[in-house]
């Protein structure tokens, strides 16, 4: 991945998570980053890009996949995505999707598969 691609992906991820109205700590946990919440603004402004390894690339795919699926599910109201992520869902044993996502890769995959049935499909 080129430096420019890393910068673009970092900016895109921070924009998505800001749109979801996640706290700095939630954003860091979701991506599995090891940095202080107060330093996150450097990445939002484009001064720095995340250090993308295999784990972060996989999490980035899931975050962007969830974002895209939410856009398909709620095409006329993007703001509802932020609300939906924080509301208890019966399918998730009355846990909020964000709670599952913050628990790690398995939780993120469950939410993504729930929103986008093509993710769980085996041909």
Q: How long a stretch of residues is the chain?
A: 123
d(CA 6, CA 1): 7
pLDDT in tens, 67-112: 999 999 888 888 899 999 999 999 999 999 999 999 999 999 999 9
Determine the pLDDT at residue 9. Answer: 96
For the entire predicted model, the pTM comes to 0.91
Q: Which domain holds residue 112?
A: 3-119
Determine the pLDDT at residue 118. Answer: 65
Residues 6 or more apart whose CB falls under 8 angstroms from that of 30 comprise 17, 22, 59, 63, 101, 102, 108
70 and 64 Cβ atoms separated by less than 8 Å: no
Among 113, 79, 111, 80, CA closest to 95: 111
Total domains in the chain come to 1
93 and 86 Cβ atoms separated by less than 8 Å: no
pLDDT in tens, 56-66: 999 999 999 99
pLDDT, the chain, mean? 92
């Amino acid at each position: 991945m080129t430096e420019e691609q890393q910068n673009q992906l970092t900016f895109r991820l921070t924009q998505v998570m800001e749109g979801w109205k996640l706290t700095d700590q939630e954003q860091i946990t979701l991506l599995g980053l090891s940095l202080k919440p107060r330093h996150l603004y450097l990445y939002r402004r484009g001064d720095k890009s995340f250090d993308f390894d295999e784990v972060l690339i996989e999490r980035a795919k899931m975050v962007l996949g969830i974002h895209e699926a939410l856009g398909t599910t709620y095409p006329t109201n993007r703001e509802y995505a932020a609300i939906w992520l924080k509301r208890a869902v019966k399918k998730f044993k009355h846990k909020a999707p964000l709670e599952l996502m913050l628990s790690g890769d398995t939780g993120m995959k469950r939410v993504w598969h729930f929103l986008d049935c093509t993710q769980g499909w085996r041909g």
